[in-house]
Amino acid sequence: MPKKHHYILATAVLLLLFIAYQTATATDYAFQAALPQSDLAKQHYLDIQNVEGRLVAVGERGLIVVSDDNAQSWRQARVPVSLTLTAVHFPNAEHGWAAGHGGVILHSNNAGDSWHVQLDGNDVNSAWLKFSQAELQRRQQALQAADPDTLESEALRQLKQSVEDAEYAVETAQEAVEVGPSDPFLDIHFEDSKNGLAVGAYGMLYQTSDGGLSWQNRANLVNNPWRYHLYAIASASNGTVLISGELGTLLRSSDGGHSWQQLASPYDGSLFGIRSAGNKRFITFGLRGHIFVSDDRGDSWRLLPSNIEDGLFGAVSTPDSTVLISGAGGALVTIDQTARAATAEHHSARQAFSALAFTAAGDLVVAGLGGLLHIEHTDASADE
């Protein structure tokens, strides 16, 4: 072979190796430990919780920080991934879970000082492929069992269409396995140290009953054929669990997530958050400042005017059952104990507020794209 051809071949091989290396590096980087960050209070955060006096916040690039002095200072936890984390929840002071992009779920057994991976997007992709294949088989069997002589033409057409939809779902699931982790979890909630739920993009719904040692795909338990995003989870003290999602999706479980009922929605826009305020009262909120209240576990809903047109994302409850909701543009909405009146303000920072928590001293800490903002109690309702 001429030297020129040797050179071209060698160059092509090196180029392919370089591309493969870059791809592997990009893929592996997300599952490397989070890098140390400076100015911790100024990073981007998506969720925060007060855990018996300790504040725990999660955000971009695998960042998890804790504060034991009412948000006066923060320290970074040890986290094994560099993925954006969207949600955190501690059912008790010792055990906590965080979830986020790449289908990752993390667990801490030391109050948030360090974390380890319990589930990642590779596991999620494999579980979804298995689910899609089983659903395809079920629909194919239903079509084969159908009697075309007794079945109306429209019903037969719908059966055939459902098989085609299932075939497409299997194809996309196979592609996801090949491409790698991508879809994010958007919320996670644990009733206790054993029983938890995680929801996310494209209808992801996972459940554990052993503290996250194993996670089961529960998408088959809900009526969500278009795989609308599931954004948030709320649980009442009587065991009722509600999920809010895209295009007004509302789901309810009365048995800890083992079965689900789709609720009639008062809104066809996305409901980014939901919060319980007692055994029967739930408050859900989302696009353009829409807030809805249910006093009967989600059977019916009423609009609560707030004079806010910004998207609303997170909420926290006070001991007296007041609910405070945060949103875009520094929006802060206070809902009184009766859930009949809402007072809306915009904080002077005007940044997107993703979530919020109270300190042990009663001050407010807001997590968002501008960092962790500490608002003293007297300043909690800043002027317009």
pLDDT for 378 beyond 80: no
Q: Which residue has the higher pLDDT, 125 or 30?
A: 125
CB 236 within 8 A of CB 276: yes
Report pTM: 0.87
pLDDT band, residue 28 (cuts 50/70/90):
low
**381: which DSSP letter?**
T
Residue by residue, DSSP assigns 158-226 as HHHHHHHHHHHHHHHHHHHHHH---PPEEEEEESSSS-EEEEEGGG-EEEESSTTSS-EE-GGGS--TT
- Position 14 scores a pLDDT of 37
pLDDT band, residue 148 (cuts 50/70/90):
confident
CB 194 within 8 A of CB 211: yes
CB 257 within 8 A of CB 197: yes
- Position 15 scores a pLDDT of 37
For 201-242, the pLDDT digits (tens) are 999 999 999 999 999 999 999 999 889 999 999 999 889 999
Mean pLDDT, residues 123-136 taken together: 92
Superfamily of domain covering 40-123+181-379: YVTN repeat-like/Quinoprotein amine dehydrogenase (2.130.10.10)
Q: What strands lie across the sheet with 116-119, from one edge to the other? A: 85-89, 96-100, 104-108, 116-119
CA distance 1 to 6: 7
- Position 64 scores a pLDDT of 98
Q: Looking at 60-151, which runs of residues are DSSP E strands? A: 64-67, 75-76, 85-89, 96-100, 104-108, 116-119
For 35-64, the pLDDT digits (tens) are 999 999 999 999 999 999 999 999 999 999
Average pLDDT, the chain: 89
- Position 20 scores a pLDDT of 38
- Position 163 scores a pLDDT of 93
- Position 377 scores a pLDDT of 54
**CA distances for 334 relative to 324, 338, 381, angstroms:** 5, 11, 9
